[in-house]
Structure 1
Amino acid sequence: MAVLEIRRKLHGESLRSLGWQGFAASVMITVASWGVGWFPRNQLSPIARSGFFIEFRTEAGGVITCIVLMAVGMVWLTRTWILTRPKVQKATEITSGQLGKLITLWSAPLIFSFPILSRDVYSYLAQGRMLHADKSPYLEGVSALPGWFDGGSDGLWAQSPSPYGPFFLVLSRIIFFVSNGIPEIGVGLLRIVAALGVLGCYHFTTKLAKKMGQNPNWANWAIVGNPLFLLTTIGGVHNDALMIAGVFSALAYAYDRRAVASTMALAIAVSVKPIVLLALPFIGLILLNKNPSKRARWIVWLKVSLLSLIWLTIIGAVTNLWFGWVPAMFSAGDAAFPYAPVGLIGWSMSQLVGMLGGNGALVNSIIVQLFQLFALAIVARLALVKNISNPVRLTAWSLSAVVLLAPIIQPWYVLWLMAFFAISHRVSWSSEKLMIYVSTLILIAVFVDQLSIEQWHTAWLMKTFAGVLAVLLFAGLFSCDSITRRILDGPSGPLDSAERRGKKG
């Protein structure tokens, strides 16, 4: 009986309880977003004229209440995610359908939230608006049209080319047209697209994990169930789930030796975010035998490159954007974040050269391009390694090189790396804990950074309060919550010890 009691405690709550706990946490986050989420401001917005939502944002008490609600909701959702971990330890302890229903409950309330953790969704609509006005987002920033700031776009993209592929830009244009410029409708439609991306990500994570001999429930728990993933893709209305689903489907089709379907899926993923084009050589490796000759590699690379070129040409012709994304992909330095290592180096050197009377912009451009070439060299080296037993793992390392050596690193880019490393092999428990802690740190950082505080409030004070509160709550979860602490001890810890003691007795 003692062993059963310990097992019950370690395995946490029932599936029903975990589902409704996550649902309640997401409800809290959704309500909180009405006060500190990103608010539509243009004249077509009915919410901007609603007194109900204004009350959440204008009064200090309302803002503080929403900050507390969101912080508690994030911690509760994270706790629910961690408590689900023992149930995915073995593929037989929970079905794929049960886990899917669980994650659906956790994310369903977020459909009704204002955008949180990011306001890029308004930039999506602004770029769709540009296309609708016959302007290319690859040649101009969103400031090319008047009223872009009232539309909610971040000033970061005011004069920077779009980093998105033609398929997603045309989709944004269609949604802008259908919404008639009303931001609530546009955000709602893009959120449906994001939710479909999460569904696709769940499906192809299951499929790819099975092909790699991995527990699909654990993979989906680690990738799709991660609160940072759900709050970014559905709460933040990001297109990252679409991209990941596209690449995972391409890799899965490659394992089925379906080169045409694989390259088509990758072309669609590239048409969402071009950076995943780097997966192409590794798709070629999957199609090969375990010990291919260099000649065989070059032949299969030529094959998949030609197929991908055909698909991308068709997409470019249909969207009439052709390959405008290629130069735009290499010009992200125009929107570099100083806290990205390469962005910091480029910015620092450009400032120094500018103070000395030189061309700082040129220096920054050269530094960014040198690091981009270095990243491509790493990708090439990984594609040529002798051991190709795990091409998906090689893809993960390649993506890491390109992301970490880029001039701009958004916090959710780490989700891509986690997804590819998690699907490529079953990581150690210490790596799992690192994933949990890194996700938590990023969640806190983005929560504080992306709070939408009205100008009549003291923003730094509100954000300081939010940061301190979130840190204290998460510290309490990891150090004081007994069930969470037992689970974080690891699957080979107290449970196995208790079972051994029970057998001896």
Structure 2
Amino acid sequence: MTVPGARLARYGGLAGALLLAVAGYLGGALPGTATVRVWHSGDGPLTVALWLLGTAAMVAAWWSLRDGAPSTRWAYVTAGSWTLPLLLTAPLGSRDVYSYACQGWVYADGGDPYATGAAAAGCPWVEAVAPVWRDTPAPYGPFFVLLAALAVLLGGGLVGAVVLLRSLAVAGLLLVACCLPGLARAAGTPTRRVTWLVLACPLVGVHLVAGAHNDAVMLGLLLLGLLLLVRRPVAPVGSAGPGPVATVGVLLAAGVLLGLAVSVKATAVVVLPFVALVAVRGRLTVPALLRDGGTLAGGVLGGLVASSLLSGLGLGWLGGLDRSGDTEQWTSPPTAVGMVVDYAGELVGRQPGAVPVARVVGLVVLAGLLAMLWWRTWSAVRGRYGSVESGRTRLTLLGAGLALALTVALAPVFHPWYATWPLVLLAVTATRTAWFVVPGAVAAFLALPDGTNLARLAKAPGAVAMTVLVIAVAVWAQPRLRRQLRRHPPSSGRAPTTNRP
């Protein structure tokens, strides 16, 4: 992109961010509007128009530089300028920040947020919480509950708590921004492209910053743990270098960070098997994996246990995970398939009940695909790269990013900010960008500033369209998967002798 084109992208995206900030002041997720749709307010049409125009401007600017910003510094400055207006407006895209505040209040008041919903516990701000989440337990880990309670205690009220929760999200995003260049260099990817794809993504500014989603904290901890692993010094053969104590210390520290990431949102657990491959230095063998991966796992377990003991809540947070799927949205492919089956069943008089079954099937398929993906990553890393660290880093991080992408696609529910999970790793590792940039661009249009999900306005058509897409993807993928399995059968444990990258 030429300098004038880059300048147009910078200021076009900034104009879009300003429009979104104004839309937030007119019709954002403000405390007193939990049951009022944005278009029912006096400024509703103007708010929606500004929101759509601003989103289109930011998406267009982001897309135009998807192959890389002029420089890494340019990407930081531009993404930072887009973030400032969104940092100063009302919560955007959802009301989850009020759920965080109430869950923190319940814990600070001596209650158990994993056993009691915000309404039953008497949270004074429950009217700001989305109605669907007022009676559900917290689905987040104990480390985040502790952070939310601290924000409530220090904030002194709802506004103060929201400001501090947004500050936590910004801190998580700053961790991401600091880790991206190191991970990009370790994977052999241009830093100017990686920083742009992640930090300038409209989903990041709208949902992680303005929406204050705790996904930013999870991603920051995750990337910091990964950076510790890929930057871990390795002594040349026959030379004095970092001793076993230092090596074990780095593995444990990285594991604790990864454990805390899981203790914010359990989704981070799907990357751990791939991170274990990153932990191994030298030739990748089963004993080396058990040694280094086991040490890393000890750190992960330590982070989880420490946060559980410190909070005094134990493992009660695992029970809250079931309630995160209380809403039915066709943007989740398994849910869409179940909805279509229910629609068809209603035509012949059958009672609806296919959605829970489809969701279970989706999770079973997800487990199988994750296992297959890990095996393919293990085989490719052993056979193609041996002990070549840069190639191994890229392949293993790519596997982790694909694992997150599969989790997003096959989870019982999908929210726009979920697309940021795989984005941060795919931006670091993928050679082509359009295939994961397009879903992020589409997801940016799914929510209005007050948190209204536009997908709910087209439930039946959307479910049918998503089901057709699922069938098309399955038909397209089946012969390719069969060829891959014939070429590299799972029973083959012997690594090829070639070391070509």
TM-score (norm 1): 0.74
**What do residues 42-64 of structure 1 show as CA deviations (whole Å, max 9, x unaligned)?**
9xx9xxxxxxxx9x99863x332
What is the match of residue 237 of structure 2?
A: none
Question: What displacement does 1:325 show?
Answer: 2.7
Paired residue type of 2:62: W
Alignment of structure 1 residues 199-218 onto 2, 5 Å: 199-218=174-193
Match of 2:372 in 1: 381
Q: 2:44 is matched with which residue?
A: 63
Does residue 329 in structure 1 map to residue 321 in structure 2?
Answer: yes
Q: Distance in 2 between matches of 1:376 and 1:143?
A: 35
**Aligned in 2, Cα 1:404/1:57: closer, same or farther, shift over 3 Å?**
closer
8 Å CA contact 1:33, 1:114 repeated in 2: yes
Q: Which residue of 191, 195, 198 maps to 2:170?
A: 195
TM-aligned CA deviation for residue 152 of structure 1: 1.8
CA drift at 1:449 = 8.3
Structure 1 position 219 matched with structure 2 position 194:
yes
* Alpha-carbon distance in structure 2 between the residues aligned to 1:145 and 1:157: 13
Structure-2 residue corresponding to 1:78: 59
CA-CA distance at 1:263 after TM superposition? 0.7
Percent of pairs identical after alignment? 22
SS of corresponding position for 2:91: coil
Is 1:129 equivalent to 2:105 in the alignment? yes
Provide the C-alpha distance between the structure 1 equivalents of 2:373 and 2:436, rounded to a whole number of angstroms: 24
Q: Structure 1 residue 260 and structure 2 residue 235: aligned?
A: no
- The answer to whether the 8 A contact 2:221-2:258 is kept is yes
Q: CA deviation at 1:124?
A: 0.9
CA RMSD of aligned residues (A): 3.5
CA distance in 1, matches of 2:291, 2:412: 33
Deviation track 1:265-294 (CA, whole Å, cap 9, x = no partner) reads 211211221110122111111122575333
Corresponding position of 1:372:
363
Counterpart AA for 2:271? A
Question: Whole-Å Cα distance in 2 between the matches of residues 19 and 397 of structure 1?
Answer: 30
Q: Does 1:138 align with 2:114?
A: yes
- Between the aligned partners of 1:323 and 1:376, the Cα distance in structure 2 is 22
User: What is the rounded CA distance, in whole Å, between the counterparts of 1:407 and 1:448 in structure 2?
Assistant: 24
- For the residue of structure 1 that corresponds to 2:447, the secondary structure is helix
Question: Does residue 1:278 correspond to 2:270, yes or no?
Answer: yes
Match in the other structure for 1:112? 88
The superposition leaves residues 283-314 of structure 1 with CA deviations (integer Å, 9 ceiling, x where unpaired) of 11112257533343344333322221122111
User: Which residue is 2:445 aligned to?
Assistant: 444
Alignment equivalent of 2:220, drawn from 234, 245, 257? 245
Under a length normalisation based on structure 2, what TM-score does the superposition of the two structures give? 0.74
The aligned residue for residue 236 of structure 1 is 211
Paired letter, 1:387? A
How big is the shift at 1:219?
Answer: 0.3
Take 1:120 and 1:212, find their aligned partners in 2: how far apart are those partners?
34
Aligned to 2:143: 167
Equivalent residue number for residue 179 of structure 1: 155
What are the ranges of 5 or more consecutive residues in structure 1 without an aligned counterpart? Answer: 1-6, 46-53, 454-458, 464-505
Equivalence for 1:503: none
Residues 128, 175 of structure 1: 8 Å contact kept: yes
Match of 1:495 in 2: none
In structure 2, the residue matched to 1:292 is 284
CA gap of 1:345–1:162, structure 2 versus 1, over 3 A, is farther
Relative distance call for 1:67 and 1:266 in structure 2 (3 A) is same
Q: Deviations over 1:419-469 (max 9, x none)?
A: 222212332xxx43x44443332222223883599xxxxx98xx9xxxxxx
Q: CA deviation at 1:131?
A: 1.3
Aligned length: 422
Partner of 1:492: none
Check conservation: 1:280, 1:304, Cα contact below 8 A: no
What's the offset of the Cα at 1:418?
2.4
